[in-house]
Amino acid sequence: MTEHVLLRKVRDAFHTRFQSEPALIVRAPGRVNLIGEHTDYNDGFVLPVAVDRAAWLAVGPSGDNWSKVRAVDMKNDDQTFPTDRVPSSSGGWADYPKGVVWALLEHGLNPVAINAVLTSDVPVGAGMSSSAAIEVAFAFAWTQLSDFDMKLSEMALLCQEAENQYVGVNCGIMDQMISACGKAGHAMMLDTRSLERAYFSMPKGIAIVVANSMVRRSLSGSEYNVRRAQCEQAVSVLQQHLPDVKALRDVTPAQLERYKGQLEDVVYRRARHVVTEDVRVLQVCRDLYEGNMEHVGKLLLEGHKSLRDDYEVSIPELDTLVEAAAEVDGCYGARLTGAGFGGCIIAVVAEDAVPSVEAHLTEVYIAKHGKEPTVYVTRADNGVARMA
C-alpha cells in the first residue's frame, strides 16, 4: 500500500472506533540489516536501513487514565490498559505499547492515556522488526502527547528496555535505533558500544530485496545463547594475552590469528566471524561512500559464507536463496539476515534487475525445496515521524 492509503486507512479506522479525529498520526518504519550480524552483543558495528514499510498509528488523548488501543490488522483486536500504573502483560501484540508505558513510568515519566488505532505493512516474522516499529510508534506518540523532552536516541533506548524487561526478548539496540533515527536514502552505521551513528548514502537505482525462506527459526533461541557463550569464552581466553580487550570488537583479525592456538577450534571460528564481520561493516561503509557496489556485494557474500561456515547459523534453504539471487545479472550480492536457522535473506539489486532476481530465486527455491518464498522489495526510508 502507498503511504497515502495507509494514512487514510488508520485515520478512518480511528474515526470509526472513537467517533472523533485523531490528534496526530505517526509512522515508524521496520528495518533490514545490510551487514553486521551477531556483532551487536559483541559491542560491534551494524549497518541497518529503515525501510519503506512501517507501523502507522492514529492517536488522541482518551480523557481518563485508561488507554484504549485497536489493531486493525488483527481482526480489530481491542485492548484497554492503565497508564498511571504498570499494566498487566497479556502476552500478545499489546505488550509492546504496555512495555513502553512500563518503561516511561520506570524513568519517572507519566504518560497521558490515549485512544489509538494501529495498522502496519511491516511483515510479521520476516526479520524486518515489526515489533520495534510498533514500540517506536507508540513511544513517539506518547512523547508528543505528553510533551516529554526526549531525543530520538533516548526514545530508542527506552523501547529497547521495554522489549528486554517487559516483553522479555533480549534484543540489542539496532532495531529500535534505526526505526527511530533512520534517514531516507541512507544506511546507518551504528557503533553498538558508544551508540554513535553515521549515515552513508545508498546509490540511486538500488533496491533491497528481502526473500523469506518460510522456515521458522525454531533453533535460533537456544543456539543464539550458545553462540553468545562461545563469544564470551573467546574474550575470556584472549584477555589473558590482551588485557585491554572487553569484547570481541576490541580484537583485530591479526590478534585473533596470533592467539588462535589458545582457543578451541569452534570458539576460534565463532570469534573469527565476529571479528571479520566488524571489518566488513566498516569496509561496506567506505564502499557506499565511494559508490563501489560491486565490492559491497562481494562483502555481503563473504559475510554469508562466514555466517554459514564459521558461525554455523545458516540452513540449506537460506543458502539456496543466496546462491540463486547471486546468479542473476544486476544482483550485487546477498546474505542471510537476522539470527539465522530460518527467516530471510537480503539481496542488493539494481532496480531494473529486481523482476529477474525475484523470478529466478522463486523458481529455484520451489524446484529445490517445494515451497514458494515470500519476496519484498524495499528502499531506505526515514525513521519515525509525525505524518498528520
The catalytic residue positions are 175
Residue type, 341: F
Q: Is residue 162 a contact partner of residue 103, using CB atoms and an 8 Å limit?
A: yes
Cell of residue 154, nine digits: 533516548
Question: What is d(CA 38, CA 337) in angstroms, rounded to the nearest whole number?
Answer: 10
Question: What is d(CA 50, CA 187) in angstroms, rounded to the nearest whole number?
Answer: 8
Question: What is d(CA 116, CA 308) in angstroms, rounded to the nearest whole number?
Answer: 43
Residue type, 109: L
Bridge partners (DSSP) listed for residue 25: 58
Could you tell me where the DSSP H helices lie in the chain?
3-18, 95-106, 130-145, 152-161, 174-181, 220-238, 253-258, 265-290, 293-309, 316-326, 354-369
C-alpha gyration radius of the chain: 21
Question: What is d(CA 377, CA 209) in angstroms, rounded to the nearest whole number?
Answer: 5
Cell of residue 338, nine digits: 537476522
48 phi/psi in degrees, rounded to 5: -85, 165
Question: What is d(CA 188, CA 181) in angstroms, rounded to the nearest whole number?
Answer: 8
Cα–Cα nearest to 162, from 356, 154, 360: 154
C-alpha angle 21/26/28, rounded to 5°? 155
Question: What is d(CA 5, CA 21) in angstroms, rounded to the nearest whole number?
Answer: 17
